[in-house]
Amino acid sequence: MKLLRILAVLSFSLSTTAAQATEMDDWSTFGRMLSLFQGFLQVSADSGGDAKRTEQHFNGLLSGKNADANKLAEEMFGDMPGEQRGQVLGIARTLVALGQQQAQVERKRAQEGDAIQARKDLAGMGLSYFDRKQFVDAVKRNDKLAVQLYLGGKGVDPRAGLETARGAGLVEMEQIIAEAGARK
C-alpha cells in the first residue's frame, strides 16, 4: 500500500532527525510522531486490507470520534504548543488523504480488471459481453455463471434480465441480478 511506503519514508526522515536530536524536547516530539505513525499503521492492520473499513477508521481518528485515539492524542500532544500540534495533525490528514486516493485508484483498477476478465470468460464461452439477447437467454436457461459474467462485464443493462427472471419466476436469478444492479 502506498500509504505504508509514505510512512516508511517519513519514519526514516524522522529517524535521521532523531539521530541529530540533542535536547529532550526533540526526543519527545520524535516519540510523539512515532506514536502517531504507529497508530495509523495499527488502524491499517486492524482493517484487514479492507479499504473502506480503513477509510472509516482513519476518518474516525481524525474527526475525534474515536475515544481511544482521543486519549492517545491527548497523551501524545497535550503539552505540545498548538501550532506544532496542528502541523503534526496536518501531516496525518495529508497521509490519510493520500492513502484514500491510492485506495480509490486501486479499487477502480480492480473493478476494471474484473470486468475485463468477465468479458474474456464470456468470449471463451462464445458469448459477447454486450449482447442483450444472449444475456436474456442466459437468464431464461437459469445459467447463473453466464449471468454473473454478463453483469461483471458491464456490457448489458441488468434491468432486461431482471424483468425476464421475474416473469419466469426465477427468484434466485432475480436476486443475483438485483444485487448486481444495486452495486452498479
Q: How many domains does the chain have?
A: 2
Residue 162 reports pLDDT greater than 70: yes
Please give the pLDDT value at position 10: 55
What is the reported pLDDT for 101? 77
Looking at 109, 137, 165, the residue that finishes a domain is: 109
Domain boundary among 84, 109, 134: 109
pLDDT at 90: 75
Is 166 contained in some domain?
yes
Within this chain, do residues 151 and 74 fall inside the same structural domain, yes or no?
A: no
Range 99-106 average pLDDT:
76
Give the number of other Cβ atoms within 10 Å of residue 44's Cβ.
19
The predicted pLDDT at position 141 comes to 96
Half-sphere exposure of 166 (CA within 13 A, CB side): 8
Q: Are residues 153 and 96 in the same domain?
A: no
Q: Report residue 127's pLDDT band, with 50, 70 and 90 as the boundaries.
A: very high
**Better pLDDT: 84 or 16:** 84
Q: Which domain holds residue 45?
A: 2-109
pLDDT for 18 beyond 50: no
Residue at 114 is within a domain:
no
Same domain, 92 and 47: yes
Sequence-ordered alpha helix ranges (H) in the chain: 2-20, 24-46, 51-63, 67-77, 82-124, 132-140, 144-153, 158-168, 171-183
Same domain (yes/no): 85, 15: yes
pTM here?
A: 0.49
Q: Does a structural domain hold residue 115? A: no
| CA proximity to 84, closest of 136, 28, 137, 150 | 28
The predicted-structure confidence for 35-85, as pLDDT tens digits, reads as follows: 766 766 676 666 666 667 766 766 666 666 767 766 766 766 677 777 777
Residues 96 and 164 placed together within one structural domain of the fold: no
What's the pLDDT at 130?
Answer: 94
Examine residue 116 and state whether it is found in any structural domain, yes or no. Answer: no
Kindly state whether residues 34 and 83 are assigned to the same domain. yes
pLDDT at 9: 55
Confidence of residue 149 (pLDDT cuts 50, 70, 90): very high
Q: Is residue 119 part of a domain?
A: no
- Per the rule left: phi > 0, alpha: psi between -120 and 50, beta: everything else, 142 is left
Q: Which residue has the higher pLDDT, 184 or 46?
A: 46
pLDDT number for residue 83:
76
